[in-house]
Amino acid sequence: IDYTGTEPSSPCNKCLNVSWDSTPPCTCTINFTLEHSFESNVFMYYGLSNFYQNHRRYVKSRDDSQLNGDNSSLLNPSKECEPYRTNEDKPIAPCGAIANSMFNDTLELYRIDNDTRIPITLIKKGIAWWTDKNVKFRNPTGDGNNLTALFQGTTKPVNWPKPVYMLDSEPDNNGFINEDFIVWMRTAALPTFRKLYRLIERKNNLHPTLQAGKYSLVIAYNYPVHSFDGRKRMILSTISWMGGKNPFLGIAYITVGSICFFLGVVLLIIHHKYGNRNTSADIPN
């Protein structure tokens, strides 16, 4: 579901030129229909296009020591974070261009049954890699578990509406270990990508996770992409016993395999035609 809003007829067209800190956020609703039921667990992604997370300076613009909870790096971030290292003489936490550009749209999904909106439960935990959540990202340490006190002396990234210790109300999903933040910090290799946003778990084996019918996507539109001709979309996907739908690897394998086969045939022909030549030179007496 593309909800960029560039088309005049789109419900999100009114939100096209929002800023990072629009208050209140612009809200739009897109109705759609699922033609087929989703039987197993459903993965909800947000997708961005024309967004180059693979730019060299962008990829380097972070401080892994700070993200790992190092107290000295918290107050003295790496120079790689420039120009998002400090703001108003205070160190930024988390610093860097990657964190500063974190995706912050809010997506809610509803099923429409007889003109009644039934909310779909979206699970926000379990979307990040285990190694990222438990090894690479940690909150600062100190007396007590009050994140407000632990992040004292720092300031929020320039484009964020609120500081890192207010990303979530649950302590095990707040600060540097917030899973939405962790997912965003794993940069994409291509300019068109998707990142896992929420999980929809199957509750009853007798009923599909998402049955066919009418649905409504409610978006708190905060993330501006129009300035760089980007696009935003919401993707619903599921898995089978063979895994998820991802044609990239299949296309890559077929392409590389075809090239190898072609080169093998060419080299075989060259070897058959020229390989048995007598290379010894006749030396006259």
Residue 132: what pLDDT?
93
pLDDT exceeds cutoff 70 at 242? no
In this structure, what are the phi and psi dihedrals at residue 106, rounded to the nearest 5 degrees? -115, 125
Any domain includes 93: yes
Worst-scoring range by mean pLDDT, 102-106, 145-149, 178-182, 195-199? Answer: 145-149
- For residue 48, give the 3-state DSSP assignment: strand
Any domain includes 108: yes
Domain that holds residue 160: 13-239
Any domain includes 217: yes
pLDDT tens by residue, 129-171: 999 999 999 999 887 678 999 999 999 999 998 999 999 999 9
* Closest to 108 measured CA to CA, from 25, 19, 185: 25
- Predicted TM-score of the model (pTM): 0.83
Q: Which is it for strands 231-240 and 193-200: parallel, antiparallel or unpaired?
A: unpaired
Number of structural domains (the chain) is 1
Q: Given pLDDT bands bounded at 50, 70 and 90, which one contains residue 18? A: confident
Q: Given pLDDT bands bounded at 50, 70 and 90, which one contains residue 278? A: low
Any domain includes 235: yes
Residue 159: what pLDDT?
92
Any domain includes 281: no
> What percent of the chain is modeled with pLDDT above 70?
93
In the structure encoding, which two tokens stand for residue 210, read together? 């998402």
Residue 277: what pLDDT?
62
